[in-house]
Amino acid sequence: MRFALVGNPNVGKSLIFNQLTGLGVEVSNYPGTTVVLHRGSTCVDREKVEILDLPGVYSIDGDQEEEALARTILTAGDLDGAVMVLNAMNLERNLYLLLQVAETGIPLVVAVNMMDEAEAAGLEIDLGKLSGILGVEVLGTAATSGRNLGGIMPLALERARTAGVAVPYDADVEAAIRTLEKTLGATRLAAIWSLDDIGTDPHIAEAAGDLAGEIEQSHRMSVHQIMALNRFTLSREIAGKVVRRGGSRAGIDLDQLLSREIPGIPILASVLVGMLLLVFVFGSLLEGVIVRLFQDFAVAPLTSLGLPPLAGKVAVSAVIGLQAGFGIAFPYILLFFLLLSILEDSGYMTRAAFLADRAMHRVGMHGGAIIPMVVAFGCNVPAIMAARNLGTKRERLIAAFLITMIPCSARTVIIAGVVAAFVGIPAALSIYGMVFLVIFLTGVLLSRVTPGGQIGMILEISPLRWPKPGLVLAKSFHRLKDFLVVAIPLLVAGSCILGVLEFFGILAVFQDLAAPLFQGLLGLPPYAITALLFGILRKEMAVETLAVLAGSANLSIVMSTLQIYIFAVISTLFVPCISTMAVLSRENGWKVAALVTLYTVLLGIGIGAMINLVFA
């Protein structure tokens, strides 16, 4: 059995999916977190049920990729049904999508989610009546507290059926539908979709195009608009019958502050800087403690053990790798993910997108692009995938290019763990400032040279919510899992290999070759190039390699502050990691990936050399 979860963006589909399947899918309080299709499975009465989490859409007749994906999956015929997730707070617009999905004839059950919020807001929803009108089973749920979630799949398996509502379209549209049905033998759905210009049969589409042209002339509106109006009329009527508004509690409207230029923009700036400062300050406290613990209880005992030279070298390298991973990387990543999750779940990001719209226009995008760019602070890989949501090819290209330059959590580790800890917090902030400036200038440049048009921002502002501690922790640990499972073993393995290479003098040969460039131009010790190269595998590796090669996680002993600063600038700017390149090349083509590589290498080395020239 196979079911799909369908719903508007930000109605809690991903949360329901996670609860049902036990998988960790990113959940946020802003539209468009799910861009790829997530699959998972659950067991109902010993039967395995596969669940697909479709990206959130407002309709299935749109021209964006996620809408086309939803359309294809719903009509492909290999689903046993769909679970429509509706937002109780906003039934009218959610029913609009339901009416479209119902048109496909797929068996449905409906989960009216966020019942808890609706109740708190004084909305009474008559679920029985709704079920009667729609002709399908309706269940009230609250995903954040888990209410009724267990009931969804059993209900879907047993009672999913084709909805009994059909949208009465405008008389002219209905006439056109009948014409297509009679003359070409089209199904009602095919006729509707063809008139809506999303039909798949070229034969019907051609005839529908002519009919649609006539209708548009007499109505002075596109057929899409006419049909949308008809659907909204019905969904408003249904919502009017089942929703009763009780006394609403008027809270403080924080948007009086957040979405105005003043004090909104200063607040936005302080949120960003405040977040970084928290990461720097508390991260370095933790870093100091963890590095010292490793030094006292692992590195020191190991060196005093008197192992044979090769084994000793490998063992010490492995421990220093772990020390760097847990001491330097872990504290910052942990704090960063926690703060990012709180920010995302609060719903603040859409306000930031609104305020940043003008600035984003300068770099050839619109405010909506802020969302993938903020995702990029966590990791560039999902951010590049999220950039798919942007309207045009030009916007996607510019966004993907700029995203690869955004300091992700791993690069934050380098900036926070190395620069903030050993050079100072103002220096660390200056790297962010420099990187943002470079990103902005690159964006201005790209917006001049990239062909194509752009459509502006049409973005739903998420409601502000108090982030739930449980969900924030769950999300942070889900993100952290990748670091623990993939990065740490890689760090340890990489360290061992480094130890061996160093032991046999291979690294020395390599570093001698690169020495002139590095020492002359950048003023860095030769082993820094090895560190930078390892950083391409994973950015945390840069720090870790440096620590292993320098023989200590306390970098201030072996490098000057200027060297540390230059090293951090170069590794932040130059070549994003391997996984980012892979995803970039898959999404935007290898040419773009190659261009990004070339550009960032030149940029990193250029700026590094410049700093060295000025300050050395």
> Which of 311, 458, 485, 506 contacts another protein by CB under 8 A?
458
Exactly one of 71, 224, 479, 539 binds another protein (CB under 8 A); which one?
224
Beta carbon nearer to another protein, 95 or 333: 95
Please work out the total of residues on this chain that contact another protein, with binding judged by CB under 8 A. 40
Burial environment of residue 246 by CB neighbours within 10 A (0 to 12, 13 to 18, 19 or more): exposed
Residue 138 interacting with another protein (CB under 8 A):
no
Q: Are 81 and 165 in contact (CB under 8 A)?
A: no
Side-chain-facing half-sphere of 564: CA atoms under 13 Å: 25
Binding mask 24-63 for another protein (x = CB under 8 A): ----------------------------------xx-xxx
Run of H or E including 52: strand 47-53
- Which residue type does 470 have? G
Residue 391 CB, nearest distance to another protein (Å)?
8
Enumerate residues 85-104 that contact another protein by CB under 8 A.
89-90, 92-93, 96
Q: Which CB, 11 or 593, lies closer to another protein?
A: 11
Over the window 507 to 526, marking each residue x when it contacts another protein by CB under 8 A and - when it does not, the resulting string is --------------------
Contact call for residue 392 and another protein (CB under 8 A):
no
Say how far apart CA 128 and CA 130 lie, in whole Å.
Answer: 5
Q: What is the DSSP letter of 185?
A: -
Q: How far is the CB of 389 from another protein (least distance, A)?
A: 11
Residue 497 in contact with another protein, rule: CB under 8 A: no
β-strand partners of 162: 107
For the window 156-195, what string marks contact with another protein as x by the rule CB under 8 A? ----------------------------------------
**CA 90 to chain CA centroid, nearest Å:** 24
**Smallest distance, Å, CB 137 to another protein?**
25
3-class DSSP assignment, residue 221: coil
Angle of the 202-219 helix axis to the 223-242 helix axis, nearest 10: 80
Quick check: 422 binds another protein (CB under 8 A)? no
Whole-angstrom distance, CA of residue 329 vs CA of residue 322? 10
Nearest-approach distance from CB 530 to another protein, in angstroms = 47
**Neighbour tally for 272: CB within 10 Å:** 16
Checking DSSP bridges between strand 107-113 and strand 2-7, what pairing results, if any?
Answer: unpaired
CB-based contact 420:284 (threshold 8 Å): yes
Q: Is residue 237 classed as helix, strand or coil in its secondary structure?
A: helix
The stretch near another protein (CB under 8 A) out of 157-165, 255-263, 297-305, 375-383 is 255-263
SS3 state of residue 39 = strand
Which of 93/475 has CB closer to another protein? 93
Which residues sit opposite 137 in a β-bridge?
A: 109
By the rule CB under 8 A, 108 interacts with another protein: no
**Which is closer to another protein, CB of 91 or CB of 546?**
91
Query: Is residue 355 within the footprint of another protein (CB under 8 A)?
Result: yes
Q: Which CB sits closer to another protein, 461 or 592?
A: 461
CB of 253 to another protein, least distance (A): 10
Q: Which stretch binds another protein (CB under 8 A): 148-156, 204-212, 225-233, 530-538?
A: 225-233
Measured from the CB atom, is 350 or 511 closer to another protein? 350
In a 13 Å sphere around the CA of 71, the CA atoms on its Cβ side amount to: 18
Q: Does 241 bind another protein (CB under 8 A)?
A: no
| Residue 200 to residues 195, 208, 436, Cα–Cα distance (Å) | 11, 12, 44
Task: Count the neighbouring beta carbons within 10 Å of the beta carbon of residue 50.
Answer: 15
Is 263 an interacting residue with respect to another protein (CB under 8 A)? no
Provide the residue type at 328 as one letter.
I
Polymer length in residues for the chain: 616
Q: State which residue, 14 or 90, has the beta carbon closest to another protein.
A: 90
Of 128-136, 297-305, 459-467, 603-611, which part binds another protein (CB under 8 A)? 459-467
Among 11, 155, 353, 381, binds another protein (CB under 8 A): 353
Contacts of 506 (CB under 8 A, 6+ apart): none
Paired residues of 50 in beta bridges: 2, 41
**Binder among 119, 147, 232, 517 for another protein (CB under 8 A):** 232
**Binding residue for another protein, selected from 45, 171, 202, 220, defined by CB under 8 A:** 220
In sequence order, what are the beta bridge partners of 161? 108
What distance in Å separates the CA atoms of residue 69 and residue 307, rounded to the nearest whole number? 59
Binding window for another protein (CB under 8 A); candidates: 159-167, 350-358, 573-581, 605-613? 350-358
Does 361 bind another protein (CB under 8 A)? Our answer is yes
Q: Which of 43, 45, 202, 217 binds another protein (CB under 8 A)?
A: 217
Cβ within 8 Å of residue 159, ≥6 positions away: 109, 136, 137
Rg (CA), the chain: 28
Q: Minimum distance from CB of 254 to another protein (Å)?
A: 12
**Per CB under 8 A, 64 contacts another protein:** yes
Q: Does 601 bind another protein (CB under 8 A)?
A: no
CB of 353 to another protein, least distance (A): 7
> Which is nearest to 81 in space by CA: 58, 101, 61, 55?
101
Residue 32 per-residue DSSP state: -
Least distance in Å: CB of 20 to another protein?
26
- 81-87 and 38-44 strand pairing: unpaired
**Which range of residues in 37-45, 337-345, 360-368, 588-596 is near another protein by CB under 8 A?**
360-368
Which residues make Cβ contacts (< 8 Å) with residue 563, sequence separation at least 6? Answer: 523, 524, 525, 528
Least Å from the CB of residue 351 to another protein: 8
Residues that bind another protein (CB under 8 A): 58-59, 61-64, 89-90, 92-93, 96, 217, 220-222, 224-225, 228-229, 232, 255, 259-261, 350, 353-355, 357-358, 361, 366-367, 455-461
